[in-house]
Structure 1
């Protein structure tokens, strides 16, 4: 694949955009550090550097979109259309985008802008037009903060878009899984319906069998009731027979007692007669009869 030709303006813009503020800070920080014997010239140099550096950053922010658009317009059409591998790599890079790192970079750039404004503001107090110098520094700070704020909003929009894309992919995966499991669910539902119908038929058969066995159960119940009635009758007859036997035993006991009493009375009469006969014999009378008469 042939490389697109890049013009001089694009190269300058690329140099400005890729110009690292941290490296510039490392270069000019020794110049901005106050010495033991301050002079007019170093303060002027520091003021010029504080004013030139924001202009460089602003020019980079202005020329970057122009150079990118020109490079894209001058690139061949074949290079503009990414292949499947390039698209996959681009998607992976977008998926692995470090938003926290970008926010940290924006925060560092904001801190660097505020530091340069504070430095420029201190340098302005050594000039004749102090207010004008501070206003210019504030204008530069506002422009840079505006660019950083725009970048921050772009990062937030990109993060929200990525989250939405992730949610869409997950929802698409869930939908695909749902659609893929649809035949299995249909089969399970059909099996459940068949099992339910089979159980209903078995219950109907049991109900019909019970209905057919109802007369037999009724006859069995009647026979049981008859047997229970016969048993109750036999129990009642046995109770009556026992009561009659008990009464007869009482009567027999009473008759036996009467006989015993009569026998005792007869024995007492016999003893009395014998005693009388013995007395008569002792008195010289006739020999008494052994039977007492």
Structure 2
């Protein structure tokens, strides 16, 4: 019997196969599918009916064998029981040994018949089992022959799909190879952009620190100016206060001098 091609194509076996080998495999699978399809195939309903009939027949044989085995077991038990009863009764007779011998011979004769029938039943069982195995093998072969076209078609589809996948893989590799310079340029531009961004970020940080220092210095100068202005105002007010106090003292001194001159003039007039 011709074995159909496998339904799957493992990558480990064909990943490095030449394209010609893959095309040859596809053609072989297609040819096998056409030849198998043109051959006489077992219909699906006939195959299923045959399998069902074989299964029913096998079940019937199993039931028949079991019934015959149960009958043999029952006869064996009955023979043993009858032998026990007879041997028990022999001891109440005058010729005990003769009775026992006769019972033993009868028991052995029945046991021999049962044994012969048991051997025949075992032979029939083995023959039926072999026949059932042959029937199953025949059904399996018929089913394999019936499914062979579909397996061949599936193998051809898998081979074609694998070939298409290989072609697409080659196209993808070629496209990636063609795009490699552009990707490198894009990566370089991105790195330059990142470097420029980092430089600008560092410059912004430095400018922010410088502006903060200048603001702090201006705030300090403004505070110093405010303090100097307050001190200048306090100095001016103190000088103004001293000047006003000095002017008041001069006025008082002038007034005292005028009063003193008036007294001297009065005293002189009084003396004249």
Q: Which category describes the TM-score, using the shorter chain as reference length?
A: 0.5 to 0.7
Aligned to 1:191: 157
**CA pair 202-132 structure 1, distance change in 2 beyond 3 A:** same
User: What does residue 261 of structure 1 align with?
Assistant: 227
Pairing of 1:81-96 with structure 2 (within 5 A): none
Match of 1:165 among 109, 125, 131: 131
1:210 and 2:184 are equivalent in the alignment: no
Q: Distance in 2 between matches of 1:272 and 1:170?
A: 131
Q: Do structure 1's residue 236 and structure 2's residue 202 form an aligned pair? A: yes
- 2-structure distance, mates of 1:151, 1:136: 23
CA distance in 1, matches of 2:81, 2:104: 12
Q: Does 1:273 align with 2:239?
A: yes
Following superposition, the deviation at residue 257 of structure 1 comes to 2.8
Structure 1 149/282 Cα, relative in aligned 2: closer, same or farther at 3 Å?
closer
Change (3 A) 1:175 1:270: same
Q: Whose relative contact order is higher, 1 or 2, with alpha carbons under 8 Å and at least 6 apart?
A: 2
Bigger shift: 99-108 or 230-239?
99-108
Q: Distance in 2 between matches of 1:192 and 1:105?
A: 58
Whole-Å separation in 1 of the counterparts to 2:78 and 2:178:
98
Residues in 1 aligned to 2:228 and 2:115: alpha-carbon distance in whole angstroms: 144
- Please give the alpha-carbon distance, in whole angstroms, between the structure 1 residues aligned to 2:225 and 2:89: 159
Deviation at 1:124, TM superposition (A): 9.9
CA positional deviation for 1:143: 4.9
Q: Give the C-alpha shift of residue 160 in structure 1.
A: 2.0
Distance 1:250 1:119 in 2: 129
The within-5 A match list for 1:240-255 is: 240-255=206-221
Gaps of 5+ in 1: 1-90, 287-293
Distance, in Å, in 2 between the alignment partners of 1:123 and 1:284 is 178
138-147 vs 191-200, which moves further: 138-147
2:140 is aligned to 174
CA RMSD of aligned residues (A): 4.2
CA drift of 1:167 comes to 1.7
Match of 1:289 in 2: none
- Number of aligned positions between the proteins: 195
Residue 219 (structure 1) shift: 0.9
Structure 2's unaligned 5+ residue stretches are 1-56, 253-272
SS at match of 2:250: coil
Distance 1:252 1:225 in 2: 40
Match of 2:115 in 1: 149
